[in-house]
Amino acid sequence: MVKVRAMQREQRSWDDVEIGDELPQLSLDITVKRLFLQASGAQDWYPVHFDPAFARKAGHEDVFMNTGFVQAALVRLITDWVGDAGFLKRLAFEMRRQHRPGDTMVCRGRVTAKEERDGQACVDLEVWAENEREGIATPGTATVILPKRGE
Amino acid sequence: MAYDIEAVRRQYIGFETAKARGRYPVEHDTIRRHCHMVEDNNPLFIDPEYAAGTEHGAVLCPPSAWLALYFASLGPWPAAFEPLFPMVPTPGKRIVNMSQDVEWFARIKVGDHLSVVRRVVDVFQKGIQIDPEAVWIVSDVDITNQRDELVCRIRNTFLTHRTPAELNGE
């Protein structure tokens, strides 16, 4: 079996998190290759996401990245940070502006609250995906549950 | 005949689809392709040997509602799955997804077999730059596993619109 060149994520403890902490950012260049990866990875074959003529006929300036792609990037931002034992409880986001070929999509996040709820060690996050053309194109919020130290 | 949004609201708000079961169980390679698109090399999602040694005991599906819905439905091809659109009639046939709010209740592992039920929560008209009479559809999606446990609930909002040519009567 070929070993996957994968990298284990650091396990984060709820006790070590502080309000204002920033998540390590994630940058993805939106290239033509990425459009193909998007169609394959999201299995979304709606042409507005890869066929410029179709997108322009619909009234858009160009093709734009689909929900599955943007969501996957935000999920990666969060799961990279929470580690194996962390649990993504909630993720909400709005597709207000588009990420298009030529953009670099950067996902970021920061801690806005931490408290125990129903016996669970919860951390609230502000997360978003931005690009240099539109600024914050995809604002969102998330809640994660983290292990406490010693658990 | 003019589009009657009130008639559509009366007919479709509250409509619920029959429970549909995914064509295949949750499988490795679909997850791998999903991870590839965002360069996610997390071994919990792509390395069975690593994942088997964790508290989870098996490869996890990344907590992406998009991927969960894919596994819970019949996939884009061959088409055997009726999406909410065009079930809810709209004057425009172009789609833009606008938002998602996803709550997770359990992790999904490779080998799970997911099912889905969808409900229409709201239908309304609100103009966008391309079409002043775009139709927005809000739905709730419940995804359950083979033990009938609720895995996640998704509130999704998308809109449908006409093309500029259609608006110009071309």
The CA R_g of chain A, rounded to the nearest whole Å, is 17
Q: What value does the mean pLDDT of chain A take? A: 95
Report the predicted TM-score, pTM, of the whole model to 2 decimal places. 0.95
Beta bridge partners of A74: none
Q: Do A99 and A46 meet the contact criterion of CB atoms below 8 Å apart?
A: no
Set of chain B residues whose Cβ sits within 8 Å of the Cβ of A80: 40, 42
**pLDDT band at residue B87, thresholds of 50, 70 and 90?**
confident
Q: Do B129 and B56 meet the contact criterion of CB atoms below 8 Å apart?
A: no
Nearest-CA distance B140 → chain A (Å): 13
Nearest-CA distance A118 → chain B (Å): 14
Backbone angles phi, psi at B31, to 5 degrees: -65, -40
B residues 51-70 near A, CB within 8 Å?
54-56, 62-67, 70
Sign of the four-CA dihedral B100, B103, B109, B115: negative
Separation between Cα atoms, residue B71 and residue B73, nearest integer Å: 6
> What is the span of the domain harbouring residue B156?
5-167
Domains of chain A are 14-145 (3.10.129.10)
A residues 86-145 near B, CB within 8 Å?
87-95
Among A114-123, B34-43, B44-53, B74-83, the least confident range? B74-83
Q: Residue A3: pLDDT above 60?
A: no
- CB–CB of B55 and A76 under 8 A? no
E strand or H helix at A145, and its extent?
strand A135-145
Separation between Cα atoms, residue B91 and residue A148, nearest integer Å: 52
Q: Residue B9: pLDDT above 70?
A: yes
Among A64-78, B16-30, B76-90, the least confident range? B76-90
Overall average pLDDT of the A26-54 stretch: 96
Q: Do B74 and B23 meet the contact criterion of CB atoms below 8 Å apart?
A: yes
Backbone angles phi, psi at B79, to 5 degrees: -70, 120
**pLDDT band at residue A60, thresholds of 50, 70 and 90?**
very high
CATH classification at residue B50 = 3.10.129.10
**pLDDT band at residue A1, thresholds of 50, 70 and 90?**
very low
| Distant-in-sequence, close-in-space partners of B5: CB < 8 Å, separation ≥ 6 | B123, B124, B125, B135
Q: Which two tokens stand for residue B21?
A: 């079961």
Q: Residue B59: pLDDT above 80?
A: yes
Number of domains chain B is built from: 1
Interface with chain B: mutation pick from A11, A80, A91, highest number of B CBs within 10 Å: A91
**pLDDT band at residue A133, thresholds of 50, 70 and 90?**
very high
Set of chain A residues whose Cβ sits within 8 Å of the Cβ of B35: 41, 72
**pLDDT band at residue B13, thresholds of 50, 70 and 90?**
very high
Rounded to the nearest angstrom, the gap between the alpha carbon of residue A5 and the centroid of all alpha carbons in its chain is 22
